[in-house]
Chain A
Amino acid sequence: MTDRKDAIVIGAGHNGLVTAAYLARAGWQTVVVDAGDEPGGMAAPICLADIYHFPGLANLAYPVAPELRDELDLDDYGYTPGAAIDTVTLAADGKHLIIGQDSVAGEGLSQADIDAYPAFRARYLEFARALQPLLTARPPRLRNMDLADKSTLAKLGWKVRAGLGREAMYEFLRVVGMNIYDVLDEAFDDDRLKGAIAAEAVMGSAMGPRSPGTVWTWLQWLQGELNGPLTTVRRDQAGLIRALVASAETAGATIRCGARVDHILVEDGVATGVTLADGEVLAADIIVSSADPRSTFTKLVGAPQLDAMFANRVSQVRGAGVVTKVLLALRDKPVIAGLPEARLGSRFLVAPSMRYVEQAYNPSKYGEYADRLVLDFVIPSVVDGSMAPAGRHFMSVNVAFTPYALKAGWENAKDGLLKAVLAQLSEHVHDLDALILHREILTPADIESRYHAVAGHWHHGELSLHQSFMLRPLYGAAQYDTPIKRLFLCGAGCHPGGGLTGLPGRNAARRIIKLGARR
C-alpha cells in the first residue's frame, strides 16, 4: 500500500474518464481501473471478425456538452462531432418519412402535420432548454439546502417562468408528467410521425408511449440536441473515448484496463481503497465509482456496510434493461426499399405507429417480446468508411422491449430473437441474408455480464421522473456522495443520467473537487 493515490475511479466508461480527467487536471493523482480490455465502457470498441470496428452499444450520439469540450480540450485531442443526420421511419409500402431537426417530409403527409412539426419541435426544445440549469449542476437537496442548491432551483425557476413565458410555462407544467401518446395525438395526424417520436421517447426505457412520464424521457433525449444535431456514431465514437483518455493521461491520470474491482474497502464507514479481482489492493483518499449504483452498493460495498433502509432503497432502484443490440457485418452496401442511396447514412426506425410501439411494449411487461418489434438502426460505415473494410458495411440495430428478465431465459430465446429481427429487417433491406458475413447479438443479459451493469440497463437506472434530480439514483446518494465517506458516484446512474453526455462525470468531479475530499 505504498503507492497511495488521491483518487481511484472505478470504470473507464466515458463518465469515469471525464471524472478522472477533471480530477487529474485539478492536480489529483488519479488512477482509473476497468474490467474491460479497453477504455470506453459501453462505448468501447467492439471488433467483429477483426475488421469491423464498432463503438460498443452506442448507435447515435449528440455532441458532448460544450463545457466538457472546452474544459477538457477535447477538440485538441481529436474529438470532432459528426454531421447532422435525419431520421427515416420506414413504412412497409415504401412511403417512408424523413424527419429532420425542423422539417418532416414524405408521401401522404398532411400539410397540417408539415406545418405543425417545426413549431412542435421548437417548443419541446425550449422545454428542454428550460431544464438546462439542472444539467450542469449537482441536483439540489430539498432538506438543508445550501446556497448552491438554492441558486440551482432559482435558476430553474427563472428559466421555466421567465425563459418560457407564461403561456409556454403552463404548457410545460401540463405536459411534463404526461405520456407521449396523448401529447402526440393532440399535435399530429400522421401515424408514422407519431410512431417515430414515440419510439424515440421510450427507447431504452421499460415504458410504452402510454406510460406516464414518457414526455419526460423524450425531453431528456432532446436535451442532447442543445449541444448540436444528432449524428450516427463513428469509429471510436468520433474520437471521444480517445480524446478523453488523452485528456486524462496528459493531465497525469493512469488508466488500467483488465483490472476488475472485486470490492471497495471500507474502514469505519470510510472508503479507503479497492481490492482487485486478482487480490491486489489499491489505496486512495477517495473512491469514485462510475459503475451503476446498484452494483456499487450491493456488490462492491456490500450490505454489511450500509444501513438497512438505504440498502433496501438501493435494491428498489428501477432499471432492468430492455434493449438488445444486434450487430451485422455486411459484405456490401445494403439497399433499402424506397430509399435513395444518398439517405443510407440516416437513422432508421421501424415504428410505424404509436399503437404499434405500445403493442411491442405490452408483452415486455410480462417477460416476453412481441412478434412485431420496434427497431432503431444505423449503417454508420456509410458515414465513416474506416469502420469496415473498403466496400463492406456495418449495421447496428437496437431492438426495443426485449426484457432482461425474459420468461423463457435468454439462452433459449436468443437465436429466436435474432431470427425475428433479421426477418423484420428483411422486409426493408433487399436480400439481407445474403449480405450478412457476421452477426452478433447482445441481449440485456449479455450486456449485464459484458459491462457489469445490473440488469443490462444503458442508463444504470430508468430515466423516470421518480429517479431524476435529487432522487437520482436514490434518496441518500443524490449529490454524487454516498453514505460511505470518501466514496462518490459519477456514472449514468447519477443526475443527469445516461447518454454520451459526460455530464454526470463532470458534475461529480466538480463536487468532489469542491468538497476538497483529499486528505
Chain B
Amino acid sequence: MTIAPDHFRQALQRTPFHDRMAALATSEDWASWNTYRVPRVVDKLSIEYFAVRSGCAVMDLTPMEKYRITGPDAFAYLDRLIVRDISGLKPGRVSYVAWCNDEGKVIDDGTLFRFGENDYRLCSQHHQLDWLQLSAAGFDVDIAVETHDVAALAVQGPTSCAVLGAAGVTGLETLKPFDIMETRCHDVPLMVSRTGYTGDLGYELWTRPEHAVDLWDHLFAVQDRFDIHAMGLSALEMVRIEAGFIMPGFDFNTAEAAIRKDYDRSPYEVGLGWIVSLDKGHFTGRRALLEEHSRTPRRRLTKIVVDGNKPVGQAFIYNRVRGRQIGEVKCWTWSPILKKNLAIADINLVRGKLPRRLWARIDYQRELKWHSTWAECQPTTKPFYSPEHRLQTPPPRY
C-alpha cells in the first residue's frame, strides 16, 4: 500500500468498497474501525438485521487486521503463539484461535487460515504486529501486514450460498464450515472461506483491492432476484451476541490494554477454555494457564437471557433483588428473532460455580427521567441462536 502525501487531510481511510457503500449509506452513520470509515448503520438497522437472519447481508471486512505468516518455522511459531492445538489444521482450512501473554491472559482472538505448508493468514480484532514480531525471536518466520492489501467482504445469511451462486461464484455447495476455496466471480479471482461472525450460514470473500468494486457489482447485480442488503456494525453487534460470540476489548479487557492488576482475563474466564490445549507442548502462557487450570475458577463471561423486554444496558448483576453485586453486563441486545433480551455478563463464581440466582438492575429513562427495575437472568452455555443451516453442507436452498 502506498500512502498519499496528503493522507492526513482525511481522518479516516476509505476501503476499496467505500464508494459503493457510501452510495447506499443514507443514514450517514459512520464509525471508525481500525482507522477505516465504515457504516454503523447503512440504511435501516432492522432491514440489515433481518437480511442476515432471513436473507443475505454484505459487510465490508477490509479493516480487519490481517497478517501473512510464512517461512520454514511458520508452524512452530504459530504453535508457540496460539493456545489451541493447530497441528491438525490442514491447508485449505481455517481455525478459530486465541493467544495469551506470559501470564496466560488473552491478548486477542482471531481466525487462522492455512493456505499451504508454511503459509498462514492470521486475522485479528486488534492490531497485533508488535506482539507477533516480539514472539518471532528465535523463529525463522516472516510476518507481513496484509490488512491494506486484501479487500474482504462478509456475505452472510440463509440465502448467502444461493446469492453467491447466482452472482457467479460456483462450487460453494460442497464448501464445509471453515473450508477455504480458490475460485472466481466472473473475471474476479477470489478466495472464499466459509467463515463469519454472525452465527448464520455465511462466507467471507477475499480479493485484491483493485477487484473490489467489480466483486461488489457482481453481487448486487442479483439484487433483483434476492434480498441483499449492505450491513453495518450495529447489526453485526446484534447477531454476534445472538450467536454468543465474544469480542475482545469490549466484552473483556485484553492483556495489552490492561493497566490495573487483575483487570485482564484468561481464556478460561472468557469461555475460551475449549480452545486451550495444555497438552500440546509449550506455548506462551502455558505455565500460567496450567496453574490457573488447577485452581477453582473465580469468574466467567456468561451468556444470560434477561427476563422482560427492557434492554438491560450497562447494568450490574446481583445475587438477589437489592442483594450483593456479583457481576456486570458487558454487552447486550434485544433479539428480534428470539424475542428475548440477551446479554453477556462477567460474573464472579462461588466455589467455582455460578450463583443460583442472577438478577440485573436495569436503569432506563422515560422522557429523560431515570427509572429502575429488577429482572431475573437465566444463564445458558449454548449459543442463543444457532440455526441448523449454519453448519449444513450443502446448505439448504432458500
Q: Judging by beta carbons under 8 Å apart, are B137 and A311 in contact?
A: yes
Interface of A is mostly: helix
Instruction: Look across to chain B and name the residue whose beta carbon is closest to the beta carbon of A315.
Output: B137
Closest Cβ of chain A to B99, distance in Å, is 9
A308 near B282: Cβ-Cβ < 8 Å: no
Q: Is A100 on the interface with B (CB-CB < 8 A)? A: no
Kindly report which residue of chain A lies nearest to residue B288, judged by CB atoms. A307
Partner of A269, one of B101, B131, B139, B286: B286
A303 interface residue (CB < 8 Å to B): yes
Are A269 and B102 in contact, with the CB atoms below 8 A?
no
| Distance of B228 from chain A, by nearest CB (Å) | 43
Q: Are B134 and A308 in contact (CB under 8 A)?
A: yes
A269 to B101, CA, bound (A): 17
Closest chain A CB from B180 CB (angstroms): 27
Q: Which residues of A contact B76 (CB under 8 A)?
A: 304
Q: Is the CB of B287 within 8 A of A303?
A: no
With A303-B139, A307-B287, A483-B287 in contact, do A269 and B282 touch (Cβ < 8 Å)? yes
Query: Is A239 part of the contact surface with B, judged by Cβ < 8 Å?
Result: no
How many contacting A-B pairs (Cβ < 8 A)? 50
Asked whether any CB of chain B lies closer than 8 Å to the CB of A310, the reply is yes
A275 at the interface (CB under 8 A from B): no
List the B side residues contacting A305 at CB < 8 Å.
282
Contacts of B290 in A (CB 8 A): 269
A 302-335 to B, binary, CB cutoff 8 A, 1 in contact else 0: 1111111111100100000000000000000000
CB distance B284 to A309 under 8 Å?
yes
Q: Is A298 an interface residue (CB 8 A)?
A: yes
Docked CA distance A309–B139 (Å): 14
| Residue in chain A with minimal CB distance to B290 | A269
Instruction: Answer whether residue B231 sits at the interface, using C-beta atoms and an 8 A cutoff.
Output: no
* In the complex with contacts A311-B137, A312-B137, A315-B137, A304-B282 CB distance below 8 A: yes
Does B285 touch A at the CB level, under 8 Å? yes
Give the chain A neighbours of B79 by CB distance below 8 A.
304
- Which residues of chain B are near A476, meaning CB under 8 Å? 102
B314 at the interface (CB under 8 A from A): no
Given the complex, which residues of A lie within 8 Å of B285, measured CB to CB?
307
Q: Does B325 contact A (CB under 8 A)?
A: no
Query: From residue B59, how far is it (CB to closest CB) to chain A in Å?
Result: 33
**CB-based contact B101/A303 at 8 Å:** no
Please measure, in the bound complex, the distance between the C-alpha atom of A479 and the C-alpha atom of B289, giving whole angstroms: 22
Interface string of B125-146 (1 = CB under 8 A from A): 0000001001101110000000
**Is there contact, CB below 8 Å, between B286 and A308?**
no
- Contacts A309-B134, A310-B102 given: A304-B80 contact, CB under 8 Å? yes
Interface hits, B299-341 → A, CB 8 Å: none
Within A265-322, the residues touching B (CB, 8 Å) are: 266, 268-269, 298, 302-312, 315
User: CA of A306 to CA of B283 in the docked complex: distance in angstroms?
Assistant: 7
| Nearest-Cβ distance from residue B68 to partner chain A, whole angstroms | 19
Please measure, in the bound complex, the distance between the C-alpha atom of A303 and the C-alpha atom of B73, giving whole angstroms: 12
Q: Given contacts A309-B101, A310-B102, are A303 and B138 in contact (CB under 8 A)?
A: yes
Whole-angstrom CA separation of A306 from B80 in the bound complex? 8
Residue numbers in A under 8 Å from B139 (CB-CB): 303-304
Encode contact with B along A46-73: 1 for CB under 8 Å, 0 otherwise: 0000000000000000000000000000
Residues of A within 8 A of B134 (CB): 308-309, 312
Q: Which residues of A contact B (CB under 8 A)?
A: 266, 268-269, 298, 302-312, 315, 476, 483
- What 6 additional pairs, Cβ within 8 angstroms, besides A303-B138, A309-B101? A269-B287, A304-B79, A305-B282, A307-B101, A308-B102, A309-B134
Could you pull out 8 A-B pairs where Cβ atoms are within 8 angstroms?
A298-B137, A303-B80, A304-B79, A306-B282, A307-B102, A307-B286, A309-B101, A483-B287
